[in-house]
A and B are shown apart, each in its own frame.
Chain A
Amino acid sequence: MTEPRRGGFRRFHLLGFLPAVGMMGGILFANRVRPLVFGLPFLFFWIAAWVVSTSLVMWIILRLDRAHERQRGRLAANEERAG
């Protein structure tokens, strides 16, 4: 049995572009001081919020990857038993 291979592209990996697109794309609209949010100029708040979202997005991708790997591990084990 080959070890369940990590790596390889899966469609949900495209979510990995979200932080870059959101943080940088939004700057075109968010480049303003007011309103202050939590005391921060709006631009700063926008960036900080996207830094937090980056963590969140990567966490979701990790969860999906883990689920995928578990499933593949089970399939491989079943095949082994059947074969």
Chain B
Amino acid sequence: MTIALWIMALVFLGAVGLGLLARRGHAMTLEQWSVAGGGFGSLLVFLLMAGELYTTFTFLGGSGWAYGKGAPAMYILCYPALAYSLSYFLLPAIWRASRGRGFVSQADFFVARYGSRTLGVLVALVGVAALVPYLVLQFKGLGIIVSEASYGRVSPSTAIWAGAAALIAYVVVSGVRGSAWTAALKDALILVVVVAMGLYLPYHWYGGIGPMFDAIDKARPQFLTLGGTGRSTSWFISTVLLTSIGVYTWPQFFGGVYTAKSDDVFRKNAVVLPLYQLVVLFVFFVGFAATLKVPGLLGADGDLSLFRIAKMSFSPWAIGIIGAAGLLTALVPGSMLLISAATILAKNVYKEIVPSASERRVAIIARATVPVLTLISVLLTLHGGQAIVALLLMGYNVVTQLFPALVLALGPSPRISAHAALAGIIAGEVTVAAISLSGATLGTLLPGWPAVITELNVGVVALAVNVAITALVWLATRNGTPVTTITRPEEIRGDSAVAASSLS
């Protein structure tokens, strides 16, 4: 083994050790495993929430897009910042509507608010469908990191299998407590690595950040503005807005909300987290430094650019530390994604099909789902060739369809019926599927329309269809279908109470 692989193996063992330490003294019921019994204070919730957005997507995808596409990569800096400003209002509202109700998954929230188990199953399936591409991209990242840091001695597919085994062991053992503590280790390491690389590389190769951008601008005019490589301001703005409202529709973020003891932590996070996001700039610097120094990585291979320029610039032990940081950015969020998906499948799909299943059995099923989901994701990783950013954008299109029903469920009582929510989500997802399978863009759908319209992110169409159908069904059925008549969230006690009040 090379020195780089040794360092990575050591850090991995350290992470597993932390995960084991974190579970001490806590019986691993499903609620403990997936939302830590709602007992996390400010610091742990902060680490969990910051850590969830800081994944291998940011690390390799961010540098990969800066390398291959230039300015459009800046969307990765914009959308989380705007999502945090939204979170100030959204997350406390979700928390208040969920407090003390024993929710473990996002689907639980929808079931209770709308009093519809069918809606719960649909939301669960949508969540899992969106989580799979997100998991795939973590595995893709793992493969790149391990094989690059081993200087090609470990093939990407071997690396993906090894990473998958590590992830399964890690998740089954520690659950969400392990994730929060390892998130602290991960964030510390990645912060140091990213800032060091983002400052060193421009100075080493170009003599500074300004001279670097100067050189890029001279060599590739338009690379540093929008529209130069086919991603216009229309695309940029619509993508940023779509993804920023989509962030908190991801099931794993609901898990994060339920872990908090108080709702004030979300307001404080909304102040601090945008600043934390600035670290992404340094990731971009790495990709930009690579764009003139290691040219020729086309398409999805842009994701390799960070390691390619690092290997040109640093000695193997430094590559080991970079690889270890990268490994954690895949493992920690990967474990959160797996926990969410497994919890949803066990509680909101399996338990719906087999209502007689005991709590214990559901908890066992949740953990047994982890290897199955991992296997599916690994197989998809080995057979798909998409770049990391493309994968995440796909997941976003799927999951953002939950946004209208989520927002309309907040407040004293839902503003629409379960039927309207169901119809809207289904219509949105069908549109997403049709668009993805046909490869349509607004340009092909609306030939001859001005570029400002045709270059919008095509996800806008699906969301518009979703909202239109939701509104139509709600208007058509509002007299016939009673809505849940809860006046205050405090009055909701359980699913049966909601169901009863919706009948009255």
Chain A residue numbers with a CB within 8 Å of B226 are 27, 31, 43
Nearest CB on A from B408, distance (A): 16
A59–B281 alpha-carbon span in the complex (Å): 22
Considering only residues 21-60 of chain A, those with a C-beta below 8 Å from chain B are 23-24, 27-28, 31-34, 36, 38-41, 43-44, 47-48, 50-52, 54-55, 57-59
The answer to whether A52 touches B278, judged by C-beta atoms less than 8 angstroms apart, is yes
| Number of B residues with CB within 8 Å of any CB on chain A | 44
Q: Between A and B, how many residue pairs show CB distances below 8 Å?
A: 113
Q: Within 8 Å CB of B212, what residues of A? A: 39
Q: Which residue from A16, A51, A59 sits with its C-beta under 8 Å from B278?
A: A51
| In the assembled complex, B267 has its CB within 8 A of some CB on chain A | yes
Given contacts A16-B85, A43-B225, A54-B81, contact A24 B237 (CB under 8 A): yes
CB distance from A14 to the nearest CB of B (A): 11
Please tell me if the beta carbons of B74 and A58 are within 8 angstroms of each other in the complex: no
Contact A62 B209 (CB under 8 A): no
Say yes or no: A31-B233 contact (C-beta < 8 A), given A40-B213, A62-B268.
yes
- Chain B residues near A51 (CB-CB < 8 A): 77-78, 81, 274-275, 277-278
Given A7-B92, A7-B96, A51-B274, also A57-B241 (CB < 8 A): no
Which one, B82, B209, B227, contacts A23 given CB within 8 A?
Answer: B82
Q: How far is the CA of A13 from the CA of B268 in the complex (A)?
A: 15
0/1 per residue, B82-94, Cβ < 8 Å to A?
1011101100110
Give min CB distance, B420 to chain A, whole Å. 23
Please give the distance in Å from B487's CB to the nearest CB on chain A: 13
Report if A19-B74 is in contact (Cβ < 8 Å); known contacts: A28-B233, A43-B224, A65-B267. no
Q: Are A27 and B233 touching (Cβ within 8 A)? A: yes
- CB-contact partner of B213 in A20, A36, A47, A65, under 8 A: A36
Per-residue CB proximity of B200-211 to A under 8 Å, as 1/0? 000000001111
Which single member of B78, B93, B225, B272 contacts A32 (CB below 8 Å)?
B225
Q: A23-B82, A27-B237, A39-B210 are in contact. Are A59 and B224 (CB under 8 A)?
A: no
Q: What is the predominant secondary structure among interface residues of chain A facing chain B?
A: helix
Is the CB–CB distance between B271 and A55 below 8 Å?
yes
Task: Report the separation of the CA atoms of residues A14 and B244 in the bound assembly, to the nearest whole angstrom.
Answer: 17
B460 to chain A, nearest CB (A): 14
Q: Which residues of B contact A41 (CB under 8 A)?
A: 71, 213, 217, 224-225
Q: Check if A61 is an interface residue, CB within 8 A of chain B.
A: yes
Residues of B within 8 A of A47 (CB): 74, 77-78
Give Cα A19 to B127, complex, Å.
Answer: 28
A60–B352 Cα gap in the complex (Å)? 45
Flag whether B263 is at the interface (Cβ < 8 A).
yes
Residue A6 is within 8 A (CB to CB) of chain B in the complex: yes
Listed residue (A19, A31, A40, A55) with the most chain B CB atoms within 10 angstroms of its CB: A55
Set of chain B residues within 8 Å of A50, measured between Cβ atoms: 81
Q: What residues of chain B lie closer than 8 Å to A19, measured between beta carbons?
A: 81-82, 85, 274
Which residues from B are CB-within-8-Å of A20? 82, 85, 241, 244
Minimum CB distance partner of A53 in chain B: B274
Give the residues in chain A near B86, CB-CB below 8 Å. Answer: 16
Give the shortest distance, in Å, between B265 (CB) and chain A (any CB): 12
B54 at the interface (CB under 8 A from A): no
Complex Cα gap A44–B72 (Å): 10
Q: Which residue of B lies closest to A13 (CB)?
A: B89
Shortest Cβ distance from residue B102 to the other chain A in the assembled complex, whole angstroms: 21
* B interface residues with partner A (beta carbon < 8 Å): 71, 74, 77-78, 81-82, 84-86, 88-89, 92-93, 96, 208-214, 217, 224-227, 233, 236-237, 240-241, 244, 263, 267-268, 270-272, 274-275, 277-278, 281, 284
Where the two chains meet, the residues of A that have a C-beta atom closer than 8 Å to any C-beta of B are: 6-7, 13, 16, 19-20, 23-24, 27-28, 31-34, 36, 38-41, 43-44, 47-48, 50-52, 54-55, 57-59, 61-62, 65
Query: Closest 3 interchain pairs by CB?
Result: A39-B210, A39-B209, A54-B274
Q: A7-B96, A28-B233 are in contact. List 7 more A-B contacts (CB 8 A).
A: A6-B263, A24-B237, A27-B236, A33-B225, A36-B214, A44-B284, A58-B84
